Amino acid sequence: MARLFSPRPPPSEDLFYETYYSLSQQYPLLLLLLVIVLVGLLALLAVAWELASDPGFLTTMLCGLGGFSLLLGLASREQRLQRWTRPLSGLVWAALLALGLGFLFTGGVVSAWDQVSFFLFVIFTVYAMLPLGMRDAAAAGLASSLSHLLVLGLYLGPQPDSQPALLPQLAANAVLFLCGNVAGAYHKALMERALRATFREALSSLHSRRRLDTEKKHQEHLLLSILPAYLAREMKAEIMARLQAGQGSRPESTNNFHSLYVKRHQGVSVLYADIVGFTRLASECSPKELVLMLNELFGKFDQIAKEHECMRIKILGDCYYCVSGLPLSLPDHAINCVRMGLDMCRAIRKLRAATGVDINMRVGVHSGSVLCGVIGLQKWQYDVWSHDVTLANHMEASGVPGRVHITGATLALLAGAYAVEDAAMEHGDPYLRELGEPTYLVIDPRAEEEDEKGTAGGLLSSLEGPKMRPSLLMTRYLESWGAAKPFAHLSHVESPVSTSTPLPEKALSSFSPQWSLDRSRTPRGLDDELDTGDAKFFQVIEQLNSQKQWKQSEDFNPLTLYFREKEMEKEYRLSALPAFKYYAACTFLVFFSNFIIQMLVTNRPPALTITYSITFLLFFLLLFVCFSEHLTKCVLKGPKMLHWLPTLSVLVATRPGLRVALGTATILLVFSMAITSLVFLPAASNCPFWASNVSFTASNLSWELPESLPLISVPYSVHCCVLGFLSCSLFLHMSFELKLLLLLLWLAACCSLFLHSHAWLSDCLIARLYLGALDSRPGVLKEPKLMGAISFFIFFFTLLVLARQNEYYCRLDFLWKKKLRQEQEETETMENLTRLLLENVLPAHVAPQFIGQNRRNEDLYHQSYECVCVLFASVPDFKEFYSESSINHEGLECLRLLNEIIADFDELLSKPKFSGVEKIKTICSTYMAATGLNATSGQDAQQDAEQSCSHLGTMVEFAVALGSKLDVINKHSFNNFRLRVGLNHGPVVAGVIGAQKPQYDIWGNTVNVASRMESTGVLGKIQVTEETACALQSLGYTCYSRGIIKVKGKGQLCTYFLNTDLTRTGPPSATLG
């Protein structure tokens, strides 16, 4: 039972289904169960008060009312506390069990048949109405059964022989409880199966929409591979607006601002990680080795991020950073990031031990708030900004290799989960030194274990020989990690796909759960990052909510649940039902249970035996008809005249009239046999225990009526009638109005029998139980006829609620199947949208490598270039301009201005003269672009230098245009931002890495030096290396020497400033000489 009172387990692949099932179907039933119990208790209290029952019984009632009122209050807030649904269900079950035991020992003499109906109610509702898994429900049901049997067995065992035979009654109780457990489990299993089928139909419907048009599928996957779902919806509209206005143009806006897709999130943790020693190692790699190494490394990090509920933001060279707590908040975001950092360090440690390559991982973590979203018009990349992000970056830069460096803010959120030690370092980082805050290093609890076990240091290098290059050793080892290839999900998009194939459950993990019923819950740690999604999917899930049945709908009448379209209603009623045979089989189990019970508690008169024999024959005939198709092989081996028998089950499944007739007949058989024993009891009121001369000392009086059945069969007839109610609920697809009619009929029949025509039997049994006790009177639930009437009404209303719920889901399942067939006809061509999306993910010359018919997904895309010009252009003043205050909405308005700057820069790319400029990425306020990436690989070195590097001039003109754009923005925003630009040219390696968020990037010493040219540059200047200055001179640009400067990682370099005030001239500038 401990499972019932434990919080929900960590999210699994089925979390979306479990959430949908728990909230949509079980949560309303939990509330209705509590309401039914409270109403029943109030009715009991009124009757007990009128009959002046004993104080113990009244006290039990009042305690029950108070307890269940409190539980109803808690349950009404459960939508906000869904993670505690399981403990709340456990409390409801425990309260019901306690109430049943209280009723057992108050109100009169304790008997073996006492409260059996109530415990049967508890058992059945545990399965049918509490949001528990099958295992938990089975455990609770069996525990309820055993508690009743053991308590009564231990209590009544030592009683005198005046009590009726105990063992047969306990055996009958056990049969009742077993039947209740089986019926409840059957109901739960079929409902879960139906719900899952409906759920899968919804997914299949969504799947068919995507697969009908491959272009639409392309744009969905490409957009969601770079953006979270909530941003994808907004930005998709932006793309459509751009298409309508013309390629690459900006849609008209009433406020003259570009759209800003940035939101603020509080309570997140940011992790920055850098691979120490990777730059030197990368310089020794071939292009294929470099791209493979990066893809495997960052693929491994993406797997770790997924395991620890973190979302990767970007890859910057060999720097990896991610956030936990986006797009929805997580209570354990700090622990998630620290765990991820430790696992990253551990992975690199294993890599170093296996290969002997000297690399390490440096990790920094800080917790706080971020602004997250997308800026600019092209090459969208989800990013985060804030002072807290900057601090996390500096934590990494000032950290210790192999350790996770955290701030005090993160430490406070760890709540002692990890031991730490003071960083104890004089921060060389001016940013951290200015803050003056203490920092800490996390102690990895598994580091010592790994050291004790020992690792075969350099195992791979010793096996392969000492002459193998470290980069090749790394590549060999990393291939064993098996990271997924970028755009692997698009490898077969051109081939037609069967729309009948349901969307795999794992596809759910790619959807953000922010559309689910509980927006505070965070189902993370699934197969893919939760920053992708499809709004339509969650609209579908919302439509599956059972509470929708009471609201106006385009499809259903909220009162009758009939389809509004008459043709659809007719089609539904005429639809086939292959599961009917299982309904009949389970109903037979109820019938068989009634038979065993009556055989145990009666003296088995011959007439009763004959009646049951005939009924058994009818049931076997029915089951043979239903299951005849499973006997096809046997029948075909027999005479030809019997070959038609297997078609009987097909007729039952496909003919609704025959099905309704057989179902009704089956239920009526169970009804009639439940009260058969009463037929063999006398109708006249001839009770020998009412005689005034019967002494209370006559303990040897029989429990049997003269020439009739034992009196003890009366309460068990009540219990059999309750099982009759349950048999009606086993036909899940039976229409609600027919169930209502049968339940009303059965309720009227039972109440008429036990409260009117055969009420004297209950009075006679009470007279025998209380023989000689003239002053005592049994409590309400101790008198069989009153107990029976209350049980009948409680089961009637409970089963009506379930019947309504079942009807809704049966119709919903039919509706989704029909919608799936209709949606296969929907299609729309979106070629222009796909093209724009491709250009926002990959360069135009790279995209066909991943989308084309002949895509070889086993190969990573990589390309080497001999002459590429790389530009880094930053607005350093923006760092000082950026602030977080209530006036600027915690930095949001500052980012709005940055968005305008980047968007205006992006607009330059649509000009024909800059068609050769490829935007790579933006890093905060730094813009990175390159030219020469669309040149033929490997041939530039053989071409004339003037021709091969002619694109350098395009990049210079682009840099000048960036400055002009910034001047215009300054004019309109009353700012004085200045651009700082660094240029360098030379060989680079380009490639696409990352399966979770595929990213096109370029690497190499050329890129690193270009970045240093910008970071060491001067505002308003374009700084270049000496080699680039010579190349630009040959193109007619003027450069002048800045002198020797110190460049991090490169030593002393002689750099030049480009004279951008001069246009291209004939002779080269003398200042270069």
Higher pLDDT, 264 or 628: 264
* Alpha carbon distance 268, 365 (integer Å): 11
* Alpha carbon distance 450, 506 (integer Å): 34
Residue whose entry in the numeric block shows the structure tokens 């970028």? 486
Please name every residue paired with 268 in a beta bridge, in sequence order, or none if there are none.
368
Mean pLDDT of the chain: 77
Residue 356 per-residue DSSP state: -
For 153-199, what is each residue's pLDDT tens digit? 888 877 665 456 788 889 999 999 999 999 999 988 888 887 777 77
Residue whose entry in the numeric block shows the structure tokens 């800490």? 440
pLDDT of residue 784: 85
- Whether 827 has a pLDDT exceeding 70, the answer reads no
For 373-427, what is each residue's pLDDT tens digit? 888 888 888 889 999 999 999 998 888 888 999 999 999 999 888 898 888 665 5
Higher pLDDT, 20 or 467: 20
- Whether 751 has a pLDDT exceeding 60, the answer reads yes
Instruction: Kindly indicate the confidence band of residue 249, based on its pLDDT and cuts at 50, 70 and 90.
Output: very low
Alpha helices in 578-696 (DSSP H): 580-601, 606-626, 632-636, 647-654, 656-674, 676-679
For 72-114, what is each residue's pLDDT tens digit? 888 777 555 556 777 888 899 999 999 999 888 887 788 888 8
Strand, helix or coil at 384? Answer: strand
For 316-367, what is each residue's pLDDT tens digit? 877 888 999 888 888 899 999 999 999 999 888 888 877 777 888 899 999 9
Which residues are tagged catalytic?
Answer: 1012, 1048
The tokens of 961 are what?
């245009």
CB count within 10 Å of CB 213 equals 17
Instruction: Kindly indicate the confidence band of residue 516, based on its pLDDT and cuts at 50, 70 and 90.
Output: very low
Instruction: Kindly indicate the confidence band of residue 934, based on its pLDDT and cuts at 50, 70 and 90.
Output: confident
pLDDT of residue 708: 58
- Whether 25 has a pLDDT exceeding 60, the answer reads yes
* Alpha carbon distance 337, 366 (integer Å): 9
Amino acid identity at 233: R
pLDDT of residue 742: 93
- Whether 849 has a pLDDT exceeding 80, the answer reads no
For 584-598, what is each residue's pLDDT tens digit? 899 999 999 999 998
For 45-55, what is each residue's pLDDT tens digit? 888 777 666 77
pLDDT of residue 120: 94
φ/ψ (deg, to 5) at 1039: -130, 150
Q: Dihedral sign for Cα 642, 643, 646, 650, please.
A: negative
Which residue from 53, 187, 94 is spatially nearest to 590, judged by alpha carbons?
187
For 950-970, what is each residue's pLDDT tens digit? 788 889 999 999 998 998 988
